[in-house]
Amino acid sequence: MSGRTITRAQLSEAVYQEVGLSRNESADLLEMVLEEISTALAQGEVVKISSFGSFSVRQKGQRVGRNPKTGEEVPILPRRVLVFRPSQLLKSQINASVKDGTAH
């Protein structure tokens, strides 16, 4: 892995380059999309993005964990976790880049 991270600024710039909106409009559009996704997930909805994947929130129950250092049992409280399931198309693209040797 290259450890490269794509930032909001880079995504906004990509929208600017592709769509032709102003930089401010591109940044606003990106923020609106991310806010809509965040709001839907916070409400427990599933967000599906065609050819990319789906995001959902899963409820995890309380369980007993262990402190790896001391071996002491510790209760892990119930919580909600974000789950991403990539689409078959995205999986294929990722695996194709590995086969081609273009993965970083």
- What is the per-residue pLDDT for 14? 94
| The pLDDT of residue 2 is above 70 | no
Q: What is the pTM of this model?
A: 0.75
- Render pLDDT for 46-69 as a digit per residue (tens, 0 to 9): 999 999 999 999 999 999 999 999
> What six digits make up the tokens of 59?
């409820």
With pLDDT > 70 as the criterion, what percentage of the chain qualifies?
A: 90
Q: How far is CA 11 from CA 17, 23, 26, 91, 97, in A?
A: 10, 11, 9, 21, 21
Sorted by sequence, the CB contacts under 8 Å of residue 68 that are 6+ apart come out as none
